[in-house]
Amino acid sequence: MNLFKTILILSFAFLTVFGETVLGAPRYFLGAQVDLLPALMVYAALNADIVTIALLAVLGGVWFDSLSANPLGISIVPLMVAGFAMYVRRDLILRQSPFAQFMLGAAASAVVPGLTVLFLLNGGKQPLIGWGSLWQWLVMTGAGALATPLIFSLGEWCGGALGYKLRTEVSFRPDREIQRGRK
């Protein structure tokens, strides 16, 4: 794992939280705030190491909580749970399949807000929960599911355009014969 991918993922997280705060049109049009951090966590869990996942959970959770009505730090554990669950089984996941990306994005986008509400209720807070919360949860799940394949393609494009590729060719031609011994 190189440092470039970690910086790229954390930059995406910062821009995502900033964009969610500044752009109010999706919130007013859909009637719900869209959270793309779980979709970004899916990308990080399938393409990065555990340190990057932990940094994304901590920094992304703190950035998100500092700009929302959540208590500071409440989103860290749900993001880490979603990322770690996929990281453990990432060898079994078809990470190049858009359908798998869509389904993992939907699962993470459904689990993270659910765990956050559960932690709020266990912490003695009284979040406003009603039938409108179901609509908000469905919008967040759908938006995260749709955004995950886009994040994968954007991450791969940025990695190819801005990163470097290791050369795998050797200096010797494969048809060259090396003669050893005396002549």
Distance CA 5, CA 48 (A): 7
**Is 117 within the bounds of a domain?**
yes
CB atoms within 10 A of CB 35: 26
Helical H segments across the chain, by residue range: 3-22, 25-30, 37-47, 50-66, 76-88, 98-122, 131-162
**Is 174 within the bounds of a domain?**
no
Distance CA 26, CA 41 (A): 21
pTM metric for this prediction:
0.85
**Is 127 within the bounds of a domain?**
yes
Q: Tell me the CA distances in angstroms from 104 to 47, 108, 110, one per residue in order.
A: 14, 6, 10
Of 98 and 169, the one with more pLDDT: 98
Distance CA 37, CA 82 (A): 11
Residue 147 pLDDT greater than 90, yes or no: yes
**Is 57 within the bounds of a domain?**
yes
What average pLDDT does the structure give for the chain?
Answer: 89
Query: What percentage of the chain has pLDDT greater than the value 90?
Result: 60
Report, as an integer, the average pLDDT of 137-156. Answer: 94
The total of structural domains in the chain comes to 1
**Is 121 within the bounds of a domain?**
yes
**Is 167 within the bounds of a domain?**
no
Cβ atoms of 20 and 36 closer than 8 Å: yes
User: Which pLDDT score is estimated for 100?
Assistant: 94
The 10s digit of each residue's pLDDT in 17-28 is 999 889 888 888
Residue found by looking up tokens 């005396």 in the block: 182
**Is 169 within the bounds of a domain?**
no
pLDDT band at 101 (very low <50, low <70, confident <90, very high): very high
Domain assignment of residue 79, given as a range = 3-156
Nearest CA to 75 out of 64, 90, 83 is that of 64
User: Which pLDDT score is estimated for 163?
Assistant: 72
User: Which pLDDT score is estimated for 171?
Assistant: 67
Nearest CA to 26 out of 104, 143, 122 is that of 143
The 10s digit of each residue's pLDDT in 37-92 is 999 999 999 999 999 999 999 999 999 999 888 899 999 999 999 999 999 998 88
**Is 102 within the bounds of a domain?**
yes
Residue 1 pLDDT greater than 60, yes or no: no
User: Which pLDDT score is estimated for 94?
Assistant: 86
pLDDT band at 128 (very low <50, low <70, confident <90, very high): confident
User: Which pLDDT score is estimated for 181?
Assistant: 74
